[in-house]
Structure 1
């Protein structure tokens, strides 16, 4: 999945869809957009104010959570596993490793493999 496809999928097609599965490329490309957008607006908000940053974060938090849950579903894990990131020090590392793991082969309880659809 390309950057443009991932952004379109997360912001238009599946903005608040927490069911189904998401490939690694969809998750990581959208994470890049989220990180770059946040960093750019942090710089702008220092000069202008925090309102613009807050609006972006409110707008992007729902699709970021949704694609994270779908990514966990793709690996065969529950979306609640995302809460592991709240454990100090070790949690964020375990969360990132979980997001980098390959897809579960074939269909699982969350739906058919997105690789098979391509």
Structure 2
């Protein structure tokens, strides 16, 4: 599956489809488009970026869900890093101007802990999402069309 087909499939045909399987190329081309879009939109301001994330959280989650199922893992596992990322975005305090001010180090400690957990999750999930597809039909359906 090429770049354009992957983006079209994830945004129009399978926007909120959590059933079935997604090939590596479908998932990774869509994620590349998502990241490029996020970088561009981030220059337009925080509110526009948040709207972008909210608009694409469903298809990105669905693509990850289907990709995990393609490797034989339960798709709901993708909710762990997605949920943790959303929780981290809400819990991360505003930047501290003066780290020596009272309470400034607590926010930095929280950010450090959240960052370490996110790094560990990212390593595990990148490993899982890069695994080859199961060549035969598994519990989640037949192999996707590459």
Which of 81, 86, 107 is equivalent to 2:137?
A: 107
Q: Matched residues in 2 for 1:91 and 1:57: separation?
A: 20
Structure 1 moving runs of 4+ over 6 Å: none
Which of 70, 73, 78 is equivalent to 2:74?
A: 78
Partner residue, 2:47: 51
The answer to whether the 8 A contact 2:61-2:79 is kept is no
Q: Matched residues in 1 for 2:138 and 2:23: separation?
A: 14
| CA offset digits 1:66-100 (Å, max 9, x no partner) | 00000000001001222554581322101001000
Q: Report the TM-score, using the length of structure 1 for normalisation.
A: 0.88
Contiguous gaps of at least 5 residues in structure 1: none
Q: Matched residues in 2 for 1:51 and 1:92: separation?
A: 25
Give the length in aligned residue pairs. 112
The answer to whether the 8 A contact 1:18-1:69 is kept is yes
Q: Determine which structure has more spread, i.e. the larger CA radius of gyration.
A: 2
Q: Does 1:96 align with 2:126?
A: yes
The answer to whether the 8 A contact 2:41-2:48 is kept is yes
Contiguous gaps of at least 5 residues in structure 2: 85-115
Q: Matched residues in 1 for 2:136 and 2:58: separation?
A: 27
